[in-house]
Amino acid sequence: MTYDADLDAKGLLCPLPVLKARKRLQALTSGQVLRVLADDPAAVIDVPHFCNEAGHELVSTQDVTDGQLYFIKKA
């Protein structure tokens, strides 16, 4: 999947992955995609909840060896 910005949130615990994703998304324009790599177990709940609350689209999630990838399209 193509994306416009990347955020490595490995090693960060709740709520830091979501807070950093929010900050990174602010720099993007509507329709651009942010790829987030996180290994916090709570991220599987926090990231979809954040997207739902903020109006962003969670395009895709993927399990990878060192965590999960989230592709978030900015509203």
As a whole number of angstroms, the distance between CA 47 and CA 10 comes to 14
Instruction: Tell me which residues are annotated as active site.
Output: 14
| H or E element at residue 61 | strand 57-64
